[in-house]
Amino acid sequence: MNSLERSCVRPMSWFKREIADGVTIVRILNTKLPRFENFWPIPRGTSYNFYVVRGSEKVALIDGADFRFSKEFFEALESVVDVKEIDYVVTQHTEPDHSGTLADVMKRASGAVLLGTRQALSIGEALADFPMDRAREVEDGEELDLGGKTLRFVISPMVHWPDTMLTYLREDSILFTCDLFGSHGASEKLFYDEAPSEFELVDYYASILMPYHAMAARAVAKVRELGPKIIAPSHGALHRKLDELLEMYERWTSWKPDKKALIVVGSQYENTARAAEAAAEGLREGGLEVITVDSAEVDPDDLLAHTLESAAILIAVATHNGHPFLGITFFLDLLKEYRPKNKVAAVLGSFGWGGGGTRAVKKELEALSIPVIDELTFKGKPREEVLARARELGKRLAEEALRVIGPS
Ligand code: FEO
């Protein structure tokens, strides 16, 4: 292929693959939008998966896509099935990234029945124009026979909204999970184990599901009971190495941290940053892996993912107009919404003339029930004595973090 031909090739916007006899995944690749939910940066893009299950008697569609990808959605769907032939449209979760195309499907498939939980139908009527005269609520454990393909609905509220359910295809042992086990990444690789670096699994969990960790843990326990062979989410990679995946999710949903420390730096003129480096040395001497991020440039989903995995959090904060540096204020806002557990913290920071930044951060962390082992505040540049105290603070923080982690 010469360069002219290459330049004429449009980037792939969707692909389809049969994952079992009569079961097709379609993945729409979103490389157009820079952010997910118009907030979370997605440098590798993201994707929407939907599934067509064809039994000997009936055809079901599981989930849809964001309405901004309607053209790709219908082009792809029509390549798998004549839309008029669809008998059931299963909505597992009505957030518009999955429900945005379903009202249109229901119009074109004039004989189809829409299936979802009571909450899904209620939310979908308001948010996605679901036709309620052709909608039917499903019960937990209810089964739908498509003719040699049986769908069992497993209601799992609050993963991520109250409307959520999973769908288990019994004969093929495939579990459709919508947001649960989802990942970002507009990848053409089907399975996570084919190219883990092309998918953002932890960022997705941390930014989307972490506030619902208890309900996600319940859902994971149900998944263990069902024992599927393949997990098929509605974002990103499919999974077939399920022991690893479930163990990872069990760690995350129970807030079991790794031997890691997160240092979030909010520094204007490098004085606070230099003290943070000394604290990082102490943390490393204490046996922790250290991740240092600049609060002015780190992506918020990365910040949440590092928070999830770290046992120790050190906030290095300059005072700005009598308040914590702005990037740190944003981090504290994230912590207030996501309420991390099993952490221990320390605070350090420089001030020029008034101070107050470290004190305010300590107070906020304690209000979130995150114990703060100490606060180190200094005026201006960190001299040798301050750097030694910062190193010592890092060491003590590592000791406390190892206690939180417990025996391995
Ligand atoms: Fe992917 Fe909560 O929707």
Tell me, yes or no, whether 212 and 306 share the same domain: no
Residue 404 lies in a domain: no
Please write down the long-range contacts of 378-387, taking CB distance under 8 Å and 24 or more positions apart. Answer: 378/275, 378/348, 378/349, 378/350, 378/351, 379/350, 379/351, 379/352, 379/355, 380/271, 380/350, 380/352, 381/271, 381/274, 381/350, 382/271, 382/274, 382/275, 382/278, 382/350, 386/275, 387/274, 387/275, 387/278
163 CB within 6 A, ligand 1: no
179 CB within 6 A, ligand 1: yes
Residue 84 lies in a domain: yes
CA gap 362, 366 in Å, rounded: 6
Tell me, yes or no, whether 57 and 202 share the same domain: yes
Tell me, yes or no, whether 223 and 368 share the same domain: no
235 CB within 6 A, ligand 1: yes
Q: Which tens digits make up the pLDDT trace of 133-180?
A: 999 999 999 999 999 999 999 999 999 999 999 999 999 999 999 999
Of 253, 278, 298, which closes a domain? 253
Tell me, yes or no, whether 227 and 331 share the same domain: no
Residue 406 lies in a domain: no
Tell me, yes or no, whether 245 and 311 share the same domain: no
Residue 407 lies in a domain: no
What pTM value is reported for the model?
0.95
Query: Considering only CA atoms, which of 299, 312, 327, 335 is closest in space to residue 210?
Result: 335
Tell me, yes or no, whether 292 and 339 share the same domain: yes
Residue 405 lies in a domain: no
CA gap 57, 73 in Å, rounded: 24
DSSP state of 264: E
CA gap 54, 326 in Å, rounded: 54
Tell me, yes or no, whether 293 and 244 share the same domain: no
184 CB within 6 A, ligand 1: no
Tell me, yes or no, whether 242 and 279 share the same domain: no
Please tell me the predicted confidence (pLDDT) of residue 8.
41
Helix, strand and coil percent figures for the chain, each rounded to 5: 40, 25, 35
Rg (alpha carbons) of the chain, rounded to whole number: 24
Tell me, yes or no, whether 327 and 284 share the same domain: yes
Tell me, yes or no, whether 165 and 296 share the same domain: no
Contact between 142 and 152 (Cβ < 8 Å): yes
Q: List the CATH number of the domain containing 303.
A: 3.40.50.360
- Protein residue whose Cα sits closest to atom 3 of ligand 1: 95
Residue range of the domain that includes 334: 262-399
Maximum Cα interatomic distance, the chain, rounded to a whole number of Å:
78
Nearest atom within ligand 1 for CA of residue 95: 3
Q: Residue 386, SS3?
A: helix
Tell me, yes or no, whether 212 and 159 share the same domain: yes
| Angle at 304 (CA atoms; ends 298, 305), nearest 5 degrees | 100
Q: Quote the mean pLDDT of the chain.
A: 96
CA gap 281, 392 in Å, rounded: 9
Q: What distance in angstroms lies between residue 98's CA and the mean position of ligand 1's atoms?
A: 7
Q: How many domains does the chain have?
A: 2
- Rounded to 10°, the helix 271-285/384-405 angle is 50
Q: What distance in angstroms lies between residue 1's CA and the mean position of ligand 1's atoms?
A: 39
Tell me, yes or no, whether 89 and 135 share the same domain: yes
Residue type, 184: H
Contact between 312 and 397 (Cβ < 8 Å): yes
pLDDT tens digits in sequence order for the chain, 408 residues long:
344 444 344 467 999 999 999 999 999 999 999 999 999 999 999 999 999 999 999 999 999 999 999 999 999 999 999 999 999 999 999 999 999 999 999 999 999 999 999 999 999 999 999 999 999 999 999 999 999 999 999 999 999 999 999 999 999 999 999 999 999 999 999 999 999 999 999 999 999 999 999 999 999 999 999 999 999 999 999 999 999 999 999 999 999 999 999 999 999 999 999 999 999 999 999 999 999 999 999 999 999 999 999 999 999 999 999 999 999 999 999 999 999 999 999 999 999 998 999 999 999 999 999 999 999 999 999 999 999 999 999 999 999 999 999 987
